[in-house]
Amino acid sequence: MHWFCPTNPNTWYLSHPALPKKCLGGKTQNPNESLNSLIWKFCPKTIGSSLQIAGIAANLATSVFNDGNQILITILEKFSLKINRNVCVSLAERDNRRIFTSRQRRLESSFEARRAKKIKKSKEIELFQEQEGIPYDPGAF
């Protein structure tokens, strides 16, 4: 903790050691993060884009987030673009794959397997840190 951090017991700060432990159980991805992920797929941060392009990417991502990839067909038709069968099939497959993956992740067995894998990995990291020491500690001053 540094002198910028509030001293009130009802406040929190990002470098507090207990804060990352709240995220260990999983379920930390929220809808806003999913939407942000879609936006950056349409408009990657690595490629410089104008504000107008970022706005278009945000609108496309919001449409896909709410209605699935099939909405892209409607958008392309509004621009009087010809859409062949392969585009329709490809977008339908994407939506079906997304729905299937979502259903698989909701299954209790799948959830338990992911949780066990995450716990195993965190134990490996702890063991490594005990052996090697912590080379970098984010938020430490």
pLDDT, one tens digit per residue, over 70-115 is 999 999 999 999 889 999 999 999 999 988 988 887 777 777 888 8
Q: Scanning the structure block, which residue is given the tokens 């690595």?
A: 46
> Could you write out the three-class secondary structure of 34-47?
HHHHHHHHHCCCCC
pLDDT band at 1 (very low <50, low <70, confident <90, very high): very low
Strand runs (DSSP E) across the chain, as ranges?
none
Phi–psi pair at 48, nearest 5 degrees: -65, 130
Across the range 120-133, mean pLDDT stands at 87
68 CB neighbour count, 10 Å cutoff: 16
Is the full-model pTM beyond 0.95? no
